[in-house]
Structure 1
């Protein structure tokens, strides 16, 4: 099975599932089908100016996808050279199509924190349902010194590398064995932007350093 095909299928299928990313921009663009963006070099987000570099630490970018017509809702896949550790980074608005958001939009910290926790619960539920025998190892608040304006949540779980959710391509239901998966959701206080990460790697792999490298390096200024 080609790794690039698996990554693209995983990302497209996961984002078409109910509540996959809870992104209103995607939900309100019912006629828009996710598509791959042709890009060479860093991909720069149209609205925030942040970039998705081609490489960071041991990771190489596989592709970039957009999930709305305005290219506000985007994601990028990364993988390590051995093809065993995968990462996906999503950057998207949470309150509707970008064109409908007032230029002076603001939200209180209390409301921002509430929305962030709500979105994290939805992302957690989806992540755990994607695999059989999921067992949560760690869960709680998380922050990065490199992103002080983003409040974060983290989930780490072990599972069988067998996709249990219905509707997934049959080719994705079998793989190399037990895995560990990490989910991070960061919400920028006072704005409508969310930053979400998913990491997946074989159980027993010491992934801490490379996970931190990607968290700090994508997106880049």
Structure 2
């Protein structure tokens, strides 16, 4: 077993350190369209060029969950996109964003913070509704040797709603995936409270 085979698995575990809940259960053999029952949002097998991987639930009722998607280029892993949908918490939107940033810098000691920007809501309908920040750091994403990657943290807090939508996208630094990631988010049929 080589480290290059373990790299995507290790990355997936590391990305999950920024989760809002402590326990996790992998959803075994999820159907082609896996549903987050509480938030009423469906996650298909494919989102554009991204293929669904692992699904996790972090509490007993499944209201706190994540769905991972992988992007491959030339038969190799090029990006991991993990979308989290979970109930709002006592930290509020700003506190949740700060907490997620702290989890990244704890996990990746060499992480360098880029500029924060405002992005649209998940379906793209409401401009400047979400916060996003980009980090860069070395990571063995495609091979045994660490290479520079970009890692984006996005958080959408619907006004007056009880749900948060967060994603982490980690990909090779020489790629520009902003358009593909936005298209993947828009490919999901978000219910009204999460748009």
* Aligned twin of 1:103: none
Query: What root-mean-square deviation, in Å, do the aligned CA atoms of Structure 1 and Structure 2 show?
Result: 3.1
Decide whether the 8 Å contact of 1:133 with 1:159 is kept in 2: yes
* Aligned twin of 1:87: 81
Matched residue of 2:39: which SS? coil
Q: 1:208 aligns with which of 166, 175, 178?
A: 178
The alignment covers a number of residue pairs equal to 186
CA distance in 2 between partners of 1:220 and 1:3 (Å): 35
Within 5 Å, give how 1:134-145 maps onto structure 2.
134-144=111-121
Q: Which has the higher mean CA deviation after the structures are superposed, 44-53 or 146-155?
A: 146-155
Q: Does 1:131 align with 2:101?
A: no
CA distance in 2 between partners of 1:199 and 1:81 (Å): 13
Normalised TM-score (structure 1): 0.71
CA distance in 1 between partners of 2:42 and 2:109 (Å): 34
CA distance in 1 between partners of 2:128 and 2:62 (Å): 21
CA shift for structure 1 position 7: 4.7
Matched residue of 2:72: which SS? coil
CA distance in 1 between partners of 2:4 and 2:52 (Å): 12
Structure 1 residues 34 and 46: CA distance shift in structure 2, 3 A: same
CA shift for structure 1 position 72: 0.6
Could you tell me which runs of 5 or more consecutive residues in structure 1 were left unpaired when the two chains were aligned. 97-113, 163-173
Q: Does 1:116 align with 2:93?
A: yes
CA distance in 2 between partners of 1:198 and 1:4 (Å): 21
Normalised TM-score (structure 2): 0.80
Q: 1:155 aligns with which of 115, 119, 133?
A: 133
CA distance in 2 between partners of 1:153 and 1:161 (Å): 24
CA distance in 2 between partners of 1:153 and 1:85 (Å): 20
Could you tell me which runs of 5 or more consecutive residues in structure 2 were left unpaired when the two chains were aligned. none
CA shift for structure 1 position 53: 1.1
CA shift for structure 1 position 188: 1.4
Decide whether the 8 Å contact of 1:178 with 1:202 is kept in 2: yes
Decide whether the 8 Å contact of 2:104 with 2:111 is kept in 1: no
* Aligned twin of 1:189: 159
Decide whether the 8 Å contact of 2:52 with 2:67 is kept in 1: yes
**Cα deviations by residue, 1:152-208 (Å, 9 ceiling, x for unpaired):** 11001211216xxxxxxxxxxx65411111110111111221111011111111212
Decide whether the 8 Å contact of 2:119 with 2:128 is kept in 1: no
* Aligned twin of 1:34: 25
Decide whether the 8 Å contact of 2:15 with 2:168 is kept in 1: no
* Aligned twin of 2:187: 217
Max Rg structure? 1
